[in-house]
Amino acid sequence: MRRYKAEFIEFLVGAGVLTFGDFTTRSGRQTPYFINTGNYRTGGQLARLGEFYARAINEHWGRDFDNLYGPAYKGIPLAVAAGIALNAEHGHNVTVTYNRKEAKDHGERGGIIGHRYDGSERVVIIEDVITAGTSLRETMGILAENGNPQVAGVIVSVDRMERGRDSLSALEEIKAEFNFPVRAIVNVREIIVHLHNHPIKDKVYINDDMKQRMEEYLREYGVEII
């Protein structure tokens, strides 16, 4: 596992974004872990988060893109933070774009803020997590109506590696539907491997019992690993 991935996993735990216990997903599944990206609350956390996104983006796309798109609302600070980190740490000064939920008819009109697309761009869409793909499909419609740039791919923070209605995960369904790569900084199996009996500030978050519960959950709801 790359070092930044291990650091990101520990960052998730330290920020209270990744927690363990008994939770119920929107789909009604009983899950032993939960990811709440709304728990990023400080400027320092957002800056660090942007650095992790930037490292993953640089690893997967290098210089083969020139714009970050952050869907409103959660994607906006992610795109800004990652854009700053890409410039500061990797010397890649990309443009940043995001959308409004409601278009304005005065001042800066329209629904797109930041760089305006002309169709020549290669865009990386930045999201927190993708569960059903609904928001991503909405994003594709927005981009098509606003310059129709080429999408180089999508980056999310964590891949839960769960099946949707069929044998594919939400990320795999998007890849199959739109024919571009969908990457994650880490996936849940990497989280299990790194945190199992590995103390973070003297606390073990995934002991043998929690590891068993998470593996049972993935056997029931997870995608098949080929």
Does residue 226 fall inside a structural domain? no
pLDDT in tens, 25-47: 877 889 999 999 889 999 999 99
Q: Which residues are catalytic?
A: 104, 106
Q: Provide, rounded to the nearest whole percent, the portion of the chain with pLDDT above 70.
A: 94
Reference 68, options 51, 49, 81; nearest CA is 81
* Residue 211: count of CB within 10 angstroms of its CB: 16
> What is the count of structural domains for the chain?
1
Does residue 52 fall inside a structural domain? yes
Does residue 186 fall inside a structural domain? yes
Instruction: Check pLDDT > 50 for residue 8.
Output: yes
pLDDT in tens, 134-146: 788 999 999 999 9
Distance CA 58, CA 65 (A): 10
Distance CA 18, CA 50 (A): 17
For residue 126, the enclosing domain spans 3-221
Q: Give me the CATH number covering residue 88.
A: 3.40.50.2020
